Amino acid sequence: MSAQSQRKAMTAASVRSRKGGEPLVCLTAYDAPTAKVLDAHCDVLLVGDSLGMVVHGMPSTVGVTLDMMILHGKAVMRGAENALVVVDLPFGSYEASREQAFESARRVVSETGCGAVKIESGTYAAGTVAFLAERGIPVMAHVGLRPQASLVTGGFKAKGRTGAEREAVIAEARAADEAGAFAMVIEGVDEELARQITQEVRCPTIGIGASAACDGQILVTPDMLGMFDWTPKFVRRYGKLREQIGEAVEAYAKDVRERSFPGEAETYRLKKD
C-alpha cells in the first residue's frame, strides 16, 4: 500500500470539520497526471473554471461549458485518491433556476464521481446552495472577487475597497454559510475583511488573495508553478516550470537538428538469431 493511499480520503464533512484547525491545503487540477502528484499533498483539488484561461487560452472563464468541466473532472478523478475533488459549475449552468442548478450539479457529480461542486455565490445564490445541499450535493461557495461576474464588475479587481462593497461581500458570505455551504472560497479581499468573514461564518474559509487569516489557501496550480510570465500579486511562485520546459524543449530541438536524437539507446535493432 502506498503512503498516499494510507491517508484517509477527504469528504465535504471532513473539510468542514477543519474549521479553526489545521489549515486546508488546496490547489487547482485539470488533468490526471497532475492530480496524482498534487493528491499526495492536498486536502482539496478544485477543478476550477480557470481551466478556460490556463488550459484553453480563453480571455476569461465566461466561455467555459458544463461539458468542459465534466471532461476535466473525469480526468482529475482518475488521478486523485485522497483529496476531495470539487468541480466548478460554470457560468450559465446554475443561475437561471434552482432546478437548472440541480440538473447541472447532478450531471457533474454522477458523471465525474467528484465529491462536491462550487458556485460563485452572490446573495441571489443562497437559495440555490440550500436547494442543492438539501438534495445531497455538497456545495462550496465563492465570495469576494467572482471571475464569472467580471463583465459586470469591470474585470478582475479586488473587492471590498469601499464600505458598500465590504457590506456586499459580507452579505454574500453570510447568506452562503446560512444556506449550508460546507466551505467557502474568499477571493481578492484585504486581510481585515477576510478575518471578519472567517470569524463570522461556521464553515471553513479558503483564501486566494485573502491573506493567511483564512482557514486554508488555494492557488491556481500553473500560477504557483511558474507557467506564466505574469501572475497576480497574491501568488507566490514555488517553481519555474515555464523556464524548465523551455530549456528542455530547446535541448530536444538541438539534438534533433544535430541528429544526435534518437541515439543508440533509443533505437530498436533487429535481433540476430
Q: Annotated binding site, which residues?
A: 49-50, 88, 118, 120
Q: CA–CA separation, 85 vs 121, rounded Å? A: 19
pLDDT (tens, 9 = 90+) of the chain, 273 residues, equals 444 456 789 999 999 999 999 999 999 999 999 999 999 999 999 999 999 999 999 998 999 999 999 999 999 999 999 999 999 999 999 999 999 999 999 999 999 999 999 999 778 899 999 999 999 999 999 999 876 555 455 555 666 678 888 999 999 999 999 999 999 999 999 999 999 999 999 999 999 999 999 999 999 999 999 999 999 899 999 999 999 999 999 999 999 999 999 999 999 998 887
- Amino acid sitting at position 40: A
Q: Which domain holds residue 221?
A: 3-240
* Residue positions annotated with a catalytic role: 187
Which of 114, 115, 58, 60 shows the shortest CA–CA distance to 91?
Answer: 60
pTM: predicted TM-score of the whole model, two decimal places: 0.93
Q: Is residue 269 part of a domain?
A: no
**Residue 213's closest CA among 199, 227, 225?**
199
Q: Does the residue 135 lie in any domain?
A: yes
In a domain, 59, yes or no: yes
- The residues with which 56 forms a beta bridge, in sequence order, are none
Binding annotation for Mg(2+): 49, 88, 120
Predicted confidence at residue 1, as pLDDT, reads 41
pLDDT recorded at residue 165: 86
- d(CA 143, CA 173) in angstroms, rounded, equals 6
- Asked, for residue 96, whether it belongs to a domain, the answer is yes
E strands, 79-230, are 84-88, 116-118, 139-144, 183-187, 205-208, 216-219
**pLDDT value at position 161?**
73
What per-residue confidence (pLDDT) applies to 66? 98
- Residue 209 resides in a domain: yes
In a domain, 245, yes or no: no
Task: Please indicate, yes or no, if residue 97 is contained in any of the structural domains.
Answer: yes
How many helices (H) and strands (E) the chain has is answered by 12, 8
CATH code at 141?
A: 3.20.20.60
User: Annotated binding site for 3-methyl-2-oxobutanoate: which residue ranges?
Assistant: 49-50, 88, 118
262: left (phi over 0), alpha (psi -120 to 50) or beta: beta
Q: How far from 200 is each of 97, 161, 250, CA to CA, in Å?
A: 28, 19, 52
State the total domains in the chain. 1
